[in-house]
Amino acid sequence: GNYYNFTLTVSAGKLHNTFYIHTEKESAIYGYMSYNNSSMPDKNINCNLFIFDSNNSRYYNVNIKDGYYYFFVNDNSNYSFYYLNNNTLKSLKIYTIYRPEGYNYITTGNDTRSIEGNFVHPLG
């Protein structure tokens, strides 16, 4: 199916609490950011990446921590990537993602920043 069902029990001494969780499976975009089109993440990058979902016309602010980012997506939507430069959103112009599958590089063209992305789909 398209859902996960699992049980989580938290215990502290004699106190026990059990949670029954029913959640929808998701896809995700993850990857890293680097300078000079490096094939390795830059661990000094701790900033934000902005992802625009054209299905609902919303921007999402995604943290980049130690060069890495992770973002949950819907399969039936288009996504565009942006970064903030002097209070202006600048496009990472190369790719808009539709039904993300496989492996892509997302770069900024003339800018020295690059983003590498992988797409993860739920099992089952």
Q: What is the pLDDT of residues 93-114, one digit of tens each?
A: 433 344 444 444 443 344 444 4
Higher per-residue pLDDT: 58 or 84: 58
Number of CB atoms found within 10 A of residue 28's CB: 14
pLDDT at position 35:
64
The count of other CB atoms within 10 Å of the CB of residue 23 is 9
- 25-120 CATH fold: Immunoglobulin-like (2.60.40)
> 77 pLDDT band (50/70/90 cuts)?
low
55-73 pLDDT tens trace: 788 888 888 888 788 887 7
Whether the pLDDT of residue 3 is over 70: the answer is no
28 DSSP β-pair partners? 72, 120
pLDDT for position 57: 86
pLDDT digits (tens, 9 = 90+) for 17-48: 888 877 666 667 777 776 655 667 778 777 77
Residue 24 in tokens? 């929808």
pTM, two decimals, is 0.55
CA-nearest of 5, 124, 25, 115 to 74 is 25
- To the nearest whole number, what is the mean pLDDT of the chain? 67
